[in-house]
Amino acid sequence: MPRLTEASSQARRDEIVAAAIRVMERKGLTRTAIADISAESGLSTGSIYSHFESKAQIALYAANTVIGAREANIAASDAAPRSPLDLVAGFLRGFDDGTPASVVLQMWAEAAIDPEMRQLITHIVGRIRRAYEEALGPWVAEHPGTDAADLSLHMVALAQGYIVQRAFGVRVTFEEYSAGLRAVLGAAPTA
């Protein structure tokens, strides 16, 4: 049997994780078994085990894939300052085009009891906060006295609230969500 190249091995891991995420979305994280992932992906359990040691390792990889992939949406495409709300909206756009919020919520719940998942989620949230802080640089320069590190914490919380709403089936765009938050907080609407 020919050996897989790193690129084909990575593609196979991504294929396995995509299948795992689809199953987790239907059955839940804890009720998903390797046999389910095998059936969903069309790959043998041996093939799956040649890429991952366990279901837990697949879940950790999936967490990094699902949650961590949103990090790229934070990076500024130009030097123009973007508001905190614009940055959070960019981060969350992936949830409008198919990222399963219910799987993200299940991963957060698992992080409450699984130290390895907690460590990964904490690391990912830290990366997201650092990406927010970096992207906020031009905006903070125009708003003296603003602490990007403190602001990033609240931006993460804002995103988490939206993800929870999506996980429970509320189909609202981030623009609608943020308009509602501004109304609740008594802030003036933006154009």
Q: Model confidence over 122-181: pLDDT tens digits?
A: 988 898 999 999 999 899 999 989 999 999 999 999 999 999 998 998 888 888 888 888
Per-residue pLDDT at 59: 85
Q: Model confidence over 43-71: pLDDT tens digits?
A: 999 999 999 999 888 988 888 777 767 77
Please report, rounded to a whole number, the percentage of residues in the chain having pLDDT higher than 90. Answer: 39
Give the chain as a DSSP string.
Answer: -PPPPHHHHHHHHHHHHHHHHHHHHHH-TTT--HHHHHHHHT--HHHHHHH-SSHHHHHHHHHHHHHHGGGGGTS-SSSS---HHHHHHHHHHHHHTT--HHHHHHHHHHHTT-HHHHHHHHHHHHHHHHHHHHHHHHHHHTSTT--HHHHHHHHHHHHHHHHHHHHTT----HHHHHHHHHHHHTPPPP-
35 falls in which pLDDT band (50, 70, 90)? very high
Q: Model confidence over 67-80: pLDDT tens digits?
A: 767 777 787 556 67
